[in-house]
Amino acid sequence: MIKANAKSNKADKRSGRVLTPERLFLKDLAQPEKATYRTVNLLGILIAVGIVLQAFGLAFVFSDLVLNAVADLQMLVLAGVGFLLRISAQYFRDVLSASASRNIRFSLRQKALSHLADLGPKRHQIEEDAALSTRVYEQIDALDDFFTRYKPQAFLVAVIPCVILASVVWVSWIAFGIFMLTAPLVILFMILVGHKAAQANRKQFKVLSLLSNQFSDLNQGLAELNRLGQTTTARNRLSDSAERYQKTTMGVLRLAFLSTGTLELFASVSIAMVALYLGLGLLEQLPWSVGSSPVTLSEAFFLLLLAPEFYLPLRQLGSDYHAKQKAEAASTDLIDLFNVKADSHTAAFHKPESSLSEEANGNDQIMYPTFESDALIVMRHMGWEQAGRQRLAPFTGSIHEGERVWLKGESGIGKSSLMTILLGFEQQYEGSLKVAGGELTATNLSQWRNRLAWIPQKPEWVQGTIRQNLELGIGRCTEAALREALIQAKCWDFVLTLKYGLDSTITEAGTGLSGGQMQRLSIARALLTQADIWLLDEPCSGLDEDTAEHVLNTIDDVSHGKTMLIISHDTHPVFWADTFWTLTKEGVHAKAQIKRSYV
Amino acid sequence: MPKRKSNVLTFKSLLFQNPFGLIVAASIGAIASLAAVALLGISGWFLSAAGLAAVVGTALTFDFLTPGALVRLMAILRTAGRYGEQVFSHDHLLGLLRTLRLWVWDQRQSLPFIDLNKQTKGDLLQRLIGDLDQIIKWPLAVAMPWLYAFLGCIALATLSAFIVPSLWPWVLLYSALQLVFLPWLAHRLCSVAVFKMQALSTHRRARFMSVFGALITLTIRGNWAGYASKLKTLDLRQKALQAYIQKTSSITKYLSQCTTFALMAVTLIQVLAYKNDVLILDEGVQATWLVALLLAMLAVNELLQPLSNAFIAQGQSKVGLRRLNQIALHDHGERATVCKLGETIRFDNLIGRYQQGACQSDLKGVSAEIELTQSLRIVGKSGAGKSTLLAALAGDLPFSGSLFIDDNEVSITSNQNWYKQVAYLPQNPIIFQQSLSSNLRLGAPNATDQELIEVLNILGLGEWLESLPNGLDTLLGNQGRDVSGGQARRIALGRALLRKSGLMLLDEPFDGLDSTSIQRVCEAIENNKYRPDFLIYVSHINSPLDRNAMSLPVE
């Protein structure tokens, strides 16, 4: 794979036409809009025909005007039709390709959103939510120019010169010859424009993102710089690096532009030379054929009008090149995003094999906790491997109804992964997981999830009032129910002291509520859901000892009779749990907890 | 109304940010544009004249050198001009970006902490950065294309006045339609939509963050679908807006081309007469020049194309400018008051507060006095306001109550003079995407490498430092080496130690440190090297510092 990549990179340099993963991704995206793009391409052909008709009509009108001071109505109409055909085709082409791009982008976005939702907690393997939102919105929109401009243009580049050549051959062999001679130049153009423009774009892209990154970084830390009295230094830093980069980039850009510029000059001059040649030819002054004219005036005009059009699509493609660049950069990030899921499928593929081997030699090593096959949650040789990395070593254990289990283990041993599986966000686990008597599958998943309450390390909050957050996902609650839950979770007192009580807002920038208070609110929320199975993932980390103890006590008070799995470090011991599990690489060590009373 | 006008950004000020660069870029661009028009016009004339000369028999006397040279000159001018425009406009763009960024920096740097914090934590900062990228395109996407189109129209009017004098009102009408009416129409039809689109994308992002922040809760409650569909609705509205704007832009382009078509038709109607089934050219009009004029019209038509998209950039820049101006400083005449540490610091009934958010009316004010060389440990439950108190003492947060230095009441909030004397380790320390040494030297710009290494050793980062191939020059943060939360805390603590300020404020300095490191840090603080005159700290971990510290309970 890597070898193939290196190879394709090499080939890429030569031909510029090998499919990198990014190109493949973009190609696949365009697939559903194939029909639209076919129409767009057809319209491109119409544009080419329009160009030729317009040039043909105008050429005859002009030569008639000049030579005979008359105009042929038919030719005028032909030129007019050509012009209108061209602009109408252009209009429809614009509209169609823009709508194709919209369809592609917005359906991709839906796909990305539901993909992220499916990933659940695993989405953070890719990035933080803020960065993910940038991918889902900005990066996907960065594909726009590629689908509206670059893709149709890439077709036009091939079509227009061909149509022009094909039409010229009927009018003048010499004209055909001139264009044929410049055709290799066109290909040379393609390659050089592609490379140089790509180079310039890449450089510019890199510099701009570097500068923008620095600006954003220093701005994030402006408060700290302010405290340290370093704002002026930082300002100078910003200013200096911007200036320095401006200088070096301009050096590179100047060269890059120069190379495309030289080629454009070549094109311009060759058009001018065509004009000059035609002029001299008409005057019968050509050194090699003095006294005879190789072309008629109308032919000359035809050629003159078509010559710029012959090169125009290429120049356009060159300037649209950054659209491609941008799209490919964005694709890299988007491919990453979709890859996270693909990995777990690979794991699923290996599933039978690894669970078999586990069956074969795992039995002696695993220490079973009390194992009842009729318990509420039964895990048998359950493990999770993702992309070759073991996230959770296979283990066996069971939790019966009403049992409260304290789970601990080294960091990275897979405690959170176990939660992910129990929450139903990872179904490619090895072994078996039976809940309420049945294997956890897509069919009983929502039923299972309905019984769950989930309290993570950082409680999940949406922007809105405390009330909205408590009712999140449950729907309207009565005032009495809210009050009851808040009193049980010991939130009632501090909520009362808030100026707007339950209608105080929880915002991104903070609430003025402490970590312990926030955690209590999430206990209240769990109570409101009437869920009978509670999953808690380090609910007390980040709280100081006293607060943690109080929060744990509250959890104890409210969770009698509930089935519970609580992850907590030694620093915050859960003395009241019925069972105490230690998760290790070998499996789970379980022991019944000797309940200590606490006062 | 803003007092200092110079602080507010307008489109005019964008043009005058770097007038020289813009003028150079614009004039080169203008030359290139006019040369493109002239190239087609002259070539047309040249061919016609040559063809005519050949027929009339004056071919031998026809001066083909001058027009030939002109054609070549125009070709070269056009290309060189395009090249020059590209170079200069990119240069100008980078310069403008720099100026605008510094403008944003200047507006923000004198903001009090609390506003700064609000800007940084929300997505305002992200939006500002996005807006800047939008705004710098304005001269290139709006101002310059319009200028070129304007010049093209003038050239056309001049040319037509010579060739077909009766045509000038039509050219004038054409110019008015193309330069004023169509852009105005597009702007009128779309400015609301462009504005909505901008607002919607901010809204959509906030919604995404909020909903995804509660993804698991919503999923296990089984109503994720409902929330996701709201997100989808927002997206579909965005799609509809985009479609509307794009359609308007395409129609404008179409109309603009049709206008050119009409102008050419009018020109021909003006000069042709229909007699005996033939269209005959008017006597007064020279056919060769007429051809040049018609070709010039086609060339101007090409110049006008970018205008049909300009209204989008115009609208976006307008929104961007408006948002940027929200952070423009209006009065910033306050001078930092003098406050110098002395023998004692005393605070009475102090409660730090975030101006907005839930008010914590249940917090009691805190009073204490600390003398030179003494230290104070603030203890209390979480949520009692320990960190807030420390932040207020650091000058970050406003507070109620009063603070005295040697019995003189001083105002310390956002006071630069106060900052100078304080070394503060905040709750969430910040590591910049700079080298390790630059990060540390923010505390002490003149510190030697040896001092930096010493501090890192004290903090137990010595081994880590040795494992870094680039040592102190290692780039930290996203672009370089990621540091863990614990490492970040320690580096920030190192920065605070290096400051060697009179007053040291530490918020949980020992979080993530092993006991040996805690020992060493305490030794460093208690020994003369890094010893502050006053030390106030919050820590839930007991440390040797506590032996000499007074305890201040906060409830």
Q: Are the beta carbons of A282 and B360 separated by less than 8 Å? A: no
Residue ending a domain, choose from B289, B304, B325: B325
Q: Is residue B193 part of a domain?
A: yes
Residues A103 and A148 in one domain: yes
Residue B3 near chain A (CB below 8 Å)? no
**Is B511 contained in some domain?**
yes
User: Would you call A230 an interface residue with chain B, using a CB distance cutoff of 8 Å?
Assistant: yes
Q: Round the average pLDDT of chain A to a whole number and report it.
A: 79
Separation between Cα atoms, residue B91 and residue B74, nearest integer Å: 25
Residues A298-343: tens digit of each pLDDT: 888 888 888 888 878 877 776 777 788 788 888 988 998 888 864 4
A171, A202, A217: which is the final residue of a domain?
Answer: A171
Same domain, A157 and A272: no
Average pLDDT over residues B327-343: 71
pLDDT score of A538: 85
Q: Say yes or no: B373 and B491 in one domain.
A: yes
Chain A contact set for B246 (CB, 8 A): 94-95, 98, 102
Report the gap between the CA of B166 and the closest CA in chain A (Å): 19
Same domain for B318 and B365, yes or no, is: no
Residue B409 structural domain: 335-553
Q: Which B-chain residues 405-424 have CB contacts (< 8 A) with chain A? A: 416, 419-420, 422, 424
Burial class (CB within 10 angstroms; exposed 0-12, middle 13-18, buried 19+) of A21: middle
**Residue A490 domain flag:** no
Is pLDDT above 50 for A427?
yes
* Mean pLDDT, rounded, for B20-37: 90
Report yes or no: A336 and A126 within 8 Å, Cβ to Cβ: yes
Predicted confidence at residue A9, as pLDDT, reads 45
Residues B369 and B397 in one domain: yes
Nearest to A178 by CA among A66, A79, A299: A299
Of A34-43, A321-330, B100-109, B408-417, give the range with the top mean pLDDT: A34-43
- B60 part of a folded domain: yes
Structural domains in chain B (count): 2
Each residue's pLDDT tens digit, B377-426: 988 776 677 888 888 888 888 888 888 888 888 888 878 888 888 899 98
Q: In angstroms, rounded to a whole number, what is the distance separating the alpha carbons of residues A354 and A357?
A: 5
The string over A578-588, giving b where at least 16 C-beta atoms fall within 10 Å of a residue's C-beta and e elsewhere, is ebbbbbeeebb
Q: Which of B325, B355, B387 is the C-terminal boundary of a domain?
A: B325
Collapsing DSSP to helix, strand or coil, B223 comes out as: coil
* Residue B62 pLDDT: 77
pLDDT of amino acid B89 = 86
- Chain B within 8 Å of A62 (Cβ-Cβ)? yes
Residues of B in contact with A276 (CB under 8 A): 68, 71-72
Which pair of structure tokens corresponds to residue B333? 């005449």
Which has the minimum average pLDDT: A410-419, B160-169, B314-323, B453-462?
A410-419
Q: Out of A384-398, B395-409, B462-476, which region has the weakest mean confidence (pLDDT)?
A: A384-398
- The answer on B31 and B61 residing in a single domain is yes
pLDDT at A143: 92
Q: Do A164 and A203 share a structural domain?
A: no
Q: Are residues B321 and B344 in the same domain?
A: no
Residue A268 counted as domain residue: yes
Q: Are residues A149 and A37 in the same domain?
A: yes
pLDDT at A418 over 90: no
* Total tally of structural domains belonging to chain A: 3
**Chain B residues lying within 8 Å of A106, measured CB to CB:** 235-236, 239
Question: CA B391, CA B355: separation in Å to the nearest integer?
Answer: 13
Whether B181 maps to a domain, the answer reads: yes
| Inter-chain residue contact A217 with B477, CB threshold 8 Å | yes
Which of A460-464, A504-508, B306-310 is predicted with the least confidence, judged by mean pLDDT? A504-508
Residues A136 and A227 reside in one and the same domain? no
The listed range with the strongest mean pLDDT (A220-234, B178-192, B353-367) is B178-192
List Cα–Cα distances, A203 to A210, A420, B61, B388, in angstroms: 10, 42, 54, 45
Q: Where are the alpha helices (DSSP H) in B470-555?
A: 485-499, 515-526
Whether B17 has its CB under 8 Å from any CB of chain A: the answer is no
pLDDT band at A263 (very low <50, low <70, confident <90, very high): low
Instruction: Please tell me the predicted confidence (pLDDT) of residue A309.
Output: 86
Report the chain B residue with the minimal C-alpha distance to residue A214. Answer: B433
Last residue of a domain, one of A141, A156, A171: A171
Give me the total of CB pairs closer than 8 Å, taking one residue from chain A and one from chain B: 388
Note whether B263 and B131 are same-domain residues. yes
Report the candidate in A327, A439, A418, A383 with the shortest Cα–Cα distance to residue A101.
A327
Does residue B252 sit in the same domain as residue B181?
yes
Instruction: List phi, psi (to 5°) of A73.
Output: -60, -40
Q: Is the pLDDT of residue A15 over 60?
A: no
Residues A136 and A59 in one domain: yes
pLDDT tens for residues B186-214? 999 998 999 999 889 888 888 888 888 88
Tell me which residues of chain B, numbers 293 to 312, contact chain A at a CB-CB cutoff of 8 Å. Answer: 294
Q: What's the confidence (pLDDT) of residue A30?
A: 92
> Do A79 and A182 sit in the same domain of this protein?
no
Tell me, what's the pLDDT at B44?
87
Q: Which residues contact A566 (CB under 8 A, 6 or more apart)?
A: A404, A405, A406, A407, A534, A536, A539, A555, A574, A577
pLDDT of residue B452: 92
Cβ contact, residue pair A508, B121, below 8 Å: yes
Q: How far apart are CA B423 and CA B501, in angstroms?
A: 6
CATH number at residue A557: 3.40.50.300
Q: Which residues contact B300 (CB under 8 A, 6 or more apart)?
A: B37, B149, B152, B153, B155, B156, B260
For residue A144, being part of any structural domain is answered with: yes
Whether residue A187 sits in one domain with residue A158: no
Other CB atoms within 10 Å distance of the CB of residue A176: 18
**B546: domain CATH number?**
3.40.50.300
- Beta-bridged to residue A383, according to DSSP, are A430
Residue A87 shares a structural domain with residue A61: yes
The CA-CA-CA angle for residues A204, A207, A213, to 5°, reads 135
A155 & A181 share domain: no
Q: How far apart are CA A15 and CA A161, in angstroms?
A: 20
- Model pLDDT, residue A598: 45
Q: Which of residues 74-103 of A touch B (CB under 8 A)?
A: 76, 80, 83-84, 87-88, 90-91, 94-95, 98-99, 102
Whether A302 is in a domain gets the answer: no
CA distance A381 to chain B (A): 25
Q: What is the pLDDT of residues A238-253, one digit of tens each?
A: 888 888 888 877 777 7
Do the domain assignments include residue B220? yes
Question: What 3-state class would DSSP assign to B409?
Answer: strand
pLDDT at residue A200 tops 80: no
- The predicted pLDDT at position B149 comes to 95
A70 contacts B279? CB cut-off 8 A: yes
Does the CB of A129 have a partner CB in chain B at under 8 Å? yes
Together in a domain, B108 and B144: yes
The owner of tokens 């005879």 is: A292
B17, B269 contact by CB (below 8 A): no
Contacts of B266 in chain A (CB under 8 A): none
What DSSP string runs through B227-255?
HHHHHHHHHHHHHHHHHHHHHHHHHHHHH
Tell me the residue range of the domain where A564 lies: 375-461+530-592
Residue A56 contacts residue A82 (beta carbons within 8 Å): yes
Of B306, B325, B344, which residue is a domain's last? Answer: B325
Q: What is the ipTM of this complex?
A: 0.80
User: Is residue B355 domain-shared with residue B299, that is, in the same domain?
Assistant: no
Token pair recorded at residue A78: 């032909």
More confident residue, A464 or A451: A451
Q: Domain containing B65 — which CATH number?
A: 1.20.1560.10
Phi-psi map region of A420: left, alpha, beta (phi>0 left; psi -120 to 50 alpha): alpha
With an 8 Å Cβ cutoff, are A91 and B291 in contact?
A: no
Chain B, window 424-443: residues with a beta carbon less than 8 angstroms from a chain A beta carbon? 424, 426, 429-430, 432-433, 442-443
DSSP collapsed to 3 states, A305-329:
HHHHHHHHHHHHHHHCHHHHHHHHH
* Helical residues (DSSP H) of A120-172, grouped into ranges: 129-134, 140-141, 144-145, 151-171
A450 touches chain B (CB under 8 A): yes
pLDDT of residue B93 exceeding 80, the answer is yes
CB within 8 Å of chain A, chain B residues 142-181: none
Tell me B506's DSSP state.
E
Is residue B146 domain-shared with residue B253, that is, in the same domain? Answer: yes
Which residues in B lie closer than 8 A to residue A69 (C-beta atoms)? 280-281, 287
Chain B residues with CB-CB distance to A231 below 8 A: 105, 109
- Output the pLDDT for position B362: 54
Asked if A80 and A46 sit in the same domain, the reply is yes
Query: Is residue B182 predicted with pLDDT exceeding 90?
Result: yes
pLDDT exceeds 90 at position B543: no
Give the SS3 label for residue A585. Answer: coil
pLDDT single digits (tens) A538-585 = 888 767 777 788 888 888 888 888 899 998 877 778 888 888 888 887
Q: Is B250 on the interface with A (CB under 8 A)?
A: yes
On whether any CB of chain A is under 8 Å from the CB of B199, the answer is no
* Cα–Cα distance for residue pair A185/A167, rounded to 1 Å: 20
Crossing angle of helices A21-30 and A73-119, in 10° steps, is 110
| Contact assignment for B217 to A228 by CB distance below 8 Å | no
Is A224 inside a domain boundary?
yes
pLDDT for position B363:
63
3-class secondary structure, B332: coil
B74 to chain A: which residues are within 8 Å by CB?
272
Residues of chain A neighbouring B265 (CB-CB closer than 8 A): 80
pLDDT at A278 over 50: yes
Mean pLDDT on B132-154: 90
Tens of pLDDT, residues A156-171: 888 888 888 888 887 7
Instruction: Give the containing element (helix H, strand E) for A492.
Output: helix A492-497
- Read off the pLDDT band of A103 (50, 70, 90): very high
B313 and B412 inside one domain? no
Per-residue pLDDT band at A346 (split at 50, 70, 90): very low
Whether B300 shows a pLDDT value over 90: the answer reads yes
Rounded average pLDDT over A87-98: 95
Q: Are residues B185 and B58 in the same domain?
A: yes
Question: Do residues A412 and A443 both lie within one domain?
Answer: yes
Interface test with B, best of A205, A215, A237, A306 (most B CBs within 10 A): A215
Chain A within 8 Å of B83 (Cβ-Cβ)? Answer: yes
Q: Is residue B289 part of a domain?
A: yes
